[in-house]
Structure formats: structure tokens, C-alpha cells
């Protein structure tokens, strides 16, 4: 007696096979990992760590300058800003006013691209937090010096200085 397969099962199997095939192709195109190719990790690094093999750059957030407050310094008071890297909150500071320059001095290793976002915390008073800016930093910026980027939000304005080492 012939075996019947449902259309749903065929879709799942086809989707799974396509995903596996894509992963295999991408792996072959990427070539050998730096560890497999004989690259020597920096001194003190674990030579068998897969994470160490992927890290190619380090983002160093230097400082943040408030050019214009989001909360305008009148009714709502000072800004409460925070920074996320790839969606994870890594730094925050309250009581930020116009012309303040705040030292951040935070470092994070990354492999190719990292997303930096600047937010102003509303503390649940007026709804969600205010998204002030999104910047994309690339590992290819290694050694290119200090960069300054500006937020483009309508109410507040900030300059962020960083370097990729």
C-alpha cells in the first residue's frame, strides 16, 4: 500500500532542507576559521575559544555630549540617557543637561557589525522611552581614529565619540 505524506509535512521538510543547504553553502563560502587556518590568538586569549576566533574589533565608546536636552530642562527636568549595543543596555546616566560631556569609557568586542542606539528614559511617565539615534559601526573602521556621530532626534541632540580598535 502506498504511503501518503501531507502537504504540511512536505513544506516542513522542504523548509528544513533549504535551511540546512543554505548553512552548508555559507560555511563552504566562508572558508576555514582563523583558528583552523593556524592564526595565533593574542597572548592571554584562550586558543580553543570559538568566541575569540570571531572577534575582530573592539568598540570603545569615549564620551557623550548633550547639545540640546530631549526633556528641554523645564517641565520634565534633565535627560536620563542610556546606550544599547546590539539591543543590550550597556551604559546609562541620569541628570544630563545641555553642554554636559559625560565620560563613557566602555569597550565591547565584536566581529563585523555592531548596532549602537541612544535612548532617553521616560521612566514610564509618558509612554515608551524616546529613541534618539541608531548608528552602525563596522569592524572595517579599525585604526581609523576617533569618530563623532550626532543624533538626529527632533527634540534632543547628542554627539557620541567612539573609536574602533
Distance between CA atoms of residues 81 and 131, nearest Å? 10
| Predicted local confidence at residue 123, as pLDDT | 75
Q: Which residues contact 145 (CB under 8 A, 6 or more apart)?
A: 163
pLDDT band at 147 (very low <50, low <70, confident <90, very high): very high
> What is the mean pLDDT of the segment spanning 128-142?
94
> Nearest to residue 82, comparing CAs of 68, 67, 98, 95?
95
| Predicted local confidence at residue 128, as pLDDT | 82
Decide if pLDDT at 26 tops 60.
no
- How many of the other CB atoms lie within 10 Å of CB of 58? 15
> What is the mean pLDDT of the segment spanning 59-63?
98
What is the SS3 assignment for 19-77?
HHHHHHHHHHHHCCCCCCCCCCCCCCCCCCCHHHHHCCEEEEEEEEEEEECCCCCCCCC
Any idea which fold 54-164 has?
A: Immunoglobulin-like (2.60.40)
Q: Name the average pLDDT for the chain.
A: 75
Decide if pLDDT at 21 tops 90.
no
* Percent of the chain clearing pLDDT 70 (strictly above): 61
Decide if pLDDT at 152 tops 60.
yes
| Predicted local confidence at residue 153, as pLDDT | 74
Which of 161 and 71 is assigned the larger pLDDT? 161
| Predicted local confidence at residue 14, as pLDDT | 35
> Could you tell me the residue ranges of all domains in the chain?
7-52, 54-164
Amino acid at each position: 500500500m502506498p504511503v501518503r505524506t501531507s502537504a504540511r509535512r512536505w513544506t516542513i521538510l522542504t523548509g528544513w532542507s533549504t535551511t540546512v543547504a543554505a548553512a552548508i553553502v555559507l560555511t563552504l563560502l566562508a572558508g576555514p576559521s582563523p583558528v583552523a587556518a593556524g592564526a595565533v590568538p593574542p597572548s592571554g586569549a584562550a586558543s580553543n575559544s570559538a568566541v575569540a576566533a570571531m572577534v575582530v574589533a573592539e568598540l570603545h565608546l569615549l564620551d557623550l555630549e548633550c547639545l540640546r536636552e530631549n526633556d528641554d530642562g523645564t517641565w520634565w527636568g534633565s535627560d536620563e540617557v542610556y546606550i544599547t549595543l546590539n539591543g543590550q543596555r550597556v551604559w546609562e546616566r541620569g541628570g544630563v543637561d545641555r553642554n554636559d560631556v559625560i565620560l563613557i569609557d566602555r569597550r565591547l568586542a565584536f566581529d563585523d557589525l555592531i548596532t549602537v542606539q541612544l535612548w532617553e528614559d521616560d521612566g514610564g511617565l509618558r509612554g515608551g522611552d524616546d529613541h534618539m539615534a541608531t548608528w552602525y559601526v563596522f569592524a572595517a573602521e579599525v585604526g581609523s581614529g576617533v569618530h563623532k556621530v550626532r543624533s538626529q532626534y527632533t527634540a534632543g541632540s547628542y554627539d557620541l565619540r567612539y573609536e574602533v580598535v
